[in-house]
Amino acid sequence: MEPSPRELREAYLTRVENRWLRRLQGVLPGDTSAGEFDLYVQMAMQFKWTPEQVNALDPQYLEELLAYLAASARHDEKQRKDAEAKARRARAGT
């Protein structure tokens, strides 16, 4: 029996949600697409920009912005891991 359009849509949304989850957890590389509208989702969440506002930007600016955001996320993750390691060492030393 063929799945209904609703079932197909729900399955698609579940796949996209799972891809986003894996990407946010760091399981998927940052350059792996979670869905068709990744750029718009990221810009909406980070800056509250609409798709129209994103489309109006210079593509090179967007590339630079995305590179900055990726580097910032990597930097934050390294700082978090360093702080956790420091806390573990401090606990082990006491």
Per residue in 48-94, pLDDT (tens digit) is 999 999 999 998 998 898 888 878 888 988 999 999 999 999 999 86
- Shared domain for 53 and 13, answered yes or no, is no
- Shared domain for 20 and 44, answered yes or no, is no
Burial of 58 (0-12, 13-18, 19+ CB in 10 A): exposed
Helical H segments across the chain, by residue range: 5-24, 38-47, 51-55, 59-93
Over residues 26-42, mean pLDDT: 75
Of the candidates 35, 31, 44, 39, which has an alpha carbon nearest to the alpha carbon of residue 12?
35
- Shared domain for 46 and 31, answered yes or no, is no
- Shared domain for 74 and 51, answered yes or no, is yes
Quote the number of domains for the chain. 2
Tens digit of pLDDT for each residue in 11-22?
Answer: 988 888 888 888
- Structural domain of 29: 1-36
